[in-house]
């Protein structure tokens, strides 16, 4: 028999059992929770800034004053720019709880497709923007395919993007016949190989993409939904978020950034090749994880990703300046990645216990 208390206090619904949904507030504790989150993010970013400053000091000590010369710093920024743009897209995917292993191959495919004789002829007869549009379209299409396979095909993102990694690289080899395609469109090269206020154009592109990515993740519904899906997909679904459609959009965004990076690669190397972007996906994931984005999803930081990219670019430059082997570089990167993951696990354990 149902008592009066039972009637006035019915069992909690699934939404209530999971706490506030992503579209709802959390009452009086919401402000304090957000303050704790912002303070934690600030602490992580300050730690990355300190690490970057320490690397700069190390570079000066080991390589002398030439390390801080304007020309060398521009080299570091150009090295960081291409992988940085890719990392922005990967940040969204990992924040949503997925992974994208195909961005390097997709970038290579986009460079090949945008530098074919047919594409360059169209660019010369009309406008160089044709090459940009082609690269971005190829990247976005590949990312959309990834998203459809993951969202509607119910394939784990690791497997889906691994398949795209292989397929995109193979298609690039078929299109180029395993040959390097030289960019000869003068308008394209003039637009992207120059400087603006003494800073290379591709660095400015990185800055613009980073700012746009920060705004999208932190100041829009799209960003909030991305975080919500990564944190608790079922709660996000119950809150009315169309998870499948959003997943497709997130992977399409990752592919689009790979296409933008392809434009930057063509500008920097003046060559489209199926080998472009080789293992870039690993560098991007490493920068994202070191930057503080959780591998399990639910938390992402564009500022941290940018700092992570700069840390790895600076570290690589130090190794090159001191003539250290690639094997030593790989060993150091591996140690940094493991350390970052261990710190993530420690912070996650503290947040659960608090």
Give which of 348, 353, 242, 250 is closest to 299, Cα–Cα.
Answer: 348
Residue 270's domain spans which residues?
66-353
Calculate the average pLDDT of the chain: 84
For residue 40, tell me if it sits in a domain. Answer: no
> Residue 24: helix, strand or coil by DSSP?
coil
For the stretch 171-203, pLDDT in tens is 999 999 889 999 988 888 888 888 888 889 999
CATH classification at residue 257: 1.10.3470
> Residue 195: helix, strand or coil by DSSP?
strand
Q: Report the C-alpha dihedral over residues 286, 290, 292, 295, rounded to 10 degrees.
A: 40
The model's pTM: 0.84
For residue 47, tell me if it sits in a domain. Answer: no
For residue 75, tell me if it sits in a domain. Answer: yes
For residue 4, tell me if it sits in a domain. Answer: no
For residue 5, tell me if it sits in a domain. Answer: no
What is the domain count for the chain?
1
Alpha-helical regions (H) of the chain: 4-8, 14-17, 29-63, 70-95, 103-114, 117-125, 129-151, 157-176, 186-192, 201-218, 221-231, 233-238, 243-269, 280-291, 302-321, 326-353
For the stretch 205-233, pLDDT in tens is 999 999 999 999 999 999 999 999 999 99
For residue 61, tell me if it sits in a domain. Answer: no
CB of 135 within 8 A of CB of 113?
yes
For residue 197, tell me if it sits in a domain. Answer: yes
């Amino acid at each position: 028999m149902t008592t009066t208390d039972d009637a006035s206090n019915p069992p909690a619904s699934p939404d209530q059992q999971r706490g506030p949904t992503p579209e709802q507030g959390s009452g009086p504790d919401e402000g304090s929770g957000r303050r704790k989150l912002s303070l934690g993010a600030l602490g992580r970013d300050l730690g990355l800034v300190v690490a970057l400053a320490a690397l700069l000091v190390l570079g000066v000590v080991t390589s002398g004053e030439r390390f801080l010369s304007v020309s060398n710093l521009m080299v570091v920024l150009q090295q960081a720019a291409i992988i940085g743009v890719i990392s922005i897209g990967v940040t969204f995917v990992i924040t949503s709880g997925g992974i994208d292993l195909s961005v390097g191959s997709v970038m290579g495919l986009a460079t090949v497709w945008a530098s074919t004789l047919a594409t360059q002829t169209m660019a010369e007869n009309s406008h160089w923007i044709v090459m940009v549009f082609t690269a971005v379209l190829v990247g976005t299409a590949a990312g959309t395919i990834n998203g459809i396979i993951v969202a509607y095909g119910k394939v784990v993102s690791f497997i889906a993007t691994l398949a795209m990694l292989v397929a995109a690289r193979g298609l690039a080899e078929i299109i180029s016949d395993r040959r390097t395609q030289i960019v000869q469109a003068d308008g394209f090269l003039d637009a992207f190989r120059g400087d603006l206020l003494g800073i290379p154009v591709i660095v400015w592109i990185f800055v613009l993409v980073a700012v746009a990515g920060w705004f999208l993740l932190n100041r829009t519904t799209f960003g909030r939904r991305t975080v919500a899906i990564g944190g608790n997909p079922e709660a996000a679904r119950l809150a009315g978020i169309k998870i499948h459609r959003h997943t497709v959009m997130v992977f399409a965004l990752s592919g689009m950034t790979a296409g933008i990076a392809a434009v930057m690669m063509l500008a920097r190397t003046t060559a489209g090749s199926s080998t472009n972007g080789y293992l870039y996906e690993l560098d991007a994931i490493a920068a994202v994880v070191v930057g503080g984005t959780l591998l399990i999803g639910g938390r992402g930081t564009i500022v941290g990703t940018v700092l992570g990219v700069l840390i790895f670019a600076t570290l690589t430059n130090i190794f090159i300046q001191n003539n250290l082997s690639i094997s030593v570089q790989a060993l150091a990167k591996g140690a940094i990645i493991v350390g970052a993951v261990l710190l993530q696990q420690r912070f996650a354990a503290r947040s659960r216990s608090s």
